[in-house]
A and B are shown apart, each in its own frame.
Chain A
Amino acid sequence: MPGPSLIGDYLAVLSADLPERIVSELADGLEETYRHYLGQGLAQDAAARAAIAEFGEPRVIVTAFTDASGGRNIARRLLVLGPGVGMCWAIVLIIARAWDWPIPVAARVLFGAMLITVIGLLAIAAVGRHYRSVCRAAAAGCLGTAILDATMVGTVLVTAPAHVWAAGLAAALSAYRSSLALRNVRRALTG
């Protein structure tokens, strides 16, 4: 974008945290603001400083974009849904005496580790301060959520088909949640 290096430096700071399409939109607005001040008779550097001051601190803008991102939104929704779905599955596992199922310890540990990882990813996306890491964590958390839900439904069907009746509500909630998660992977990645 034409104009003094001050504006270029300001946009470079934003580019470090925000994707190109957002910086491009901000650059257009900043250029308009800069031209507005030039039109009022300010010199180039003064106009650039005034435009930058009017736009605000880069940290404030990045934080606002991070809070408004699709990744943060879906991560918070999945975290709110989590306890309810988890409680339903816990009831199913108790009714079906899951501790007696012929599932290797390694598989149980792997599932537990994945569950903790997914919760961690969604928590990072829900409260993280860095735009890109929020988007990536949210996308990975969405995929992980869908895999966990599919694993639970598949495990009950294969291992304890006699208790499928008890898993109806939990499976329905899991289907809703994984569908929501999968539909939002792209939106989480693009912010």
Chain B
Amino acid sequence: MRAEELKGHLDALLLATLEDGPRHGYAVMEALRRSTDGRLDLPTGTIYPALHRLEHAGLIAGSWSVVAGRRRRLYRLTAAGAGALAGKRADWRDFAAMMTAALERGPCPDPA
């Protein structure tokens, strides 16, 4: 799946990867790949700005740590982020149910 197809859904995917605990940027990307069976086709570098945007919005919180001599920024889900993720999940279920009902229905019977 390409970046333009993900528009509007990337935030939910990123929030979901942080649901199990804090991760750094590369680990978020790895978790996204695993959860989408490798079908996600995003430049890794663009994950970081998206994480910063979510941090500005207060949905995740970042903090610096030093691991093996390298500075590393870890992100965790905030309470507001958990609430936003629950809302996005509910929206997605509604949307998916509507699309499935509309697209997987059999061909319309001939009115004649």
Contacts and interface: CB of A to CB of B under 8 A. Distances in A.
B32 to A, nearest CB: 13
User: Chain A at the B interface: mostly helix, strand, loop or mixed?
Assistant: helix
Interface in A30-85: 31-33, 54-58, 60-61, 64-65, 67-70, 73
Interface stretch (A19-27, A86-94, A169-177): A19-27
Q: Chain B CB within 10 Å — which of A55, A58, A70 has the most? A: A55
Q: Chain B CB within 10 Å — which of A22, A60, A64, A191 has the most? A: A64
A117 to B, nearest CB: 26
Contacts of B72: 25, 28
A137 B6 CA distance: 31
A54 B42 CA distance: 8
Interface of A: 1, 22, 24-29, 31-33, 54-58, 60-61, 64-65, 67-70, 73, 187, 191
B25 interface: yes
Given A26-B48, A56-B45, 15 more contacts: A1-B70, A26-B25, A26-B45, A28-B24, A28-B26, A28-B70, A29-B48, A57-B43, A58-B45, A60-B43, A61-B43, A65-B48, A67-B49, A68-B52, A70-B56
B52 A65 contact: yes
B88 interface: no
A55 B71 CA distance: 19
B47 to A, nearest CB: 8
A24 B67 CA distance: 13
Q: Chain A CB within 10 Å — which of B25, B44, B53 has the most? A: B44
A28 B56 contact: no
B44 A29 contact: yes
A55 B43 contact: yes
Contact of A73 (B45, B56, B70): B56
A10 to B, nearest CB: 10
Contacts of A25: 25, 48, 71-73
A33 B44 CA distance: 9
Contacts of B53: 68
A54 B73 contact: no
Interface string B46-69: 101110110010000000000000
A29 B52 contact: no
Q: Chain A CB within 10 Å — which of B29, B48, B53 has the most? A: B48
